[in-house]
Amino acid sequence: MDHLYTPWRMAYIRGEKKPLEGCVFCQLPHTDGETQIIARSQYVYVTLNLYPYNNGHVMVVPYEHIASSEAMPVTALTDLMVTANKTLGALRKLYGAAAFNMGANLGQAAGAGIAEHFHFHIVPRWAGDSNFMTVVSSTRVIPDTLDNMYRELKAVWTELYGAEETL
């Protein structure tokens, strides 16, 4: 018998981590404690996805509560893409990913889990990462914990770009 371990889910099951009230993306940068925020820039921040498709699945999120990138000024859009490029560099160094999926689900019909606050996904990919578990069982296997992903990606980000954070 095979076992699928997902230790990061236990805190949720036990009720130790309460979901934030209101918009999680608006509150996250102002929350005390572990937030899984990797980096901050003037208009956006980079955070781990708590329900990743692969190791290193992150989101670049604007501080402003907007539903679409169309509402972002050019300076914020530029910051979003420059930050996304830095994120690619950090993910490449840490994981040696062969490829990436990048994009956003705009609106509930497009699959957005939090449709009211725009966020941009970056998902590292490797040849063969859609193995039998995904194809046959509709199950993704994430071989690392969120805490370890955070620690390692934060360290690589600091090594590449420094530790300065801006709010």
The DSSP call for residue 20 is: P
Q: Which of 30, 57, 117, 119 is catalytic?
A: 119
Please indicate whether residue 30 is annotated as part of the active site: no
Both tokens of 8, joined, read: 């990061």
Strand segments, DSSP code E, in the chain are 37-40, 44-48, 58-62, 99-103, 120-125
**Torsion angle, alpha carbons of 82, 163, 91, 156, to 10:** 150
Burial tier of 33 (Cβ tally within 10 Å: 0-12, 13-18, 19+)? exposed
- The residue type found at 75 is T
**Rounded distance between C-alpha atoms, residue 28 and residue 36, angstroms:** 9
- The residue type found at 90 is A
Catalytic residues: 119
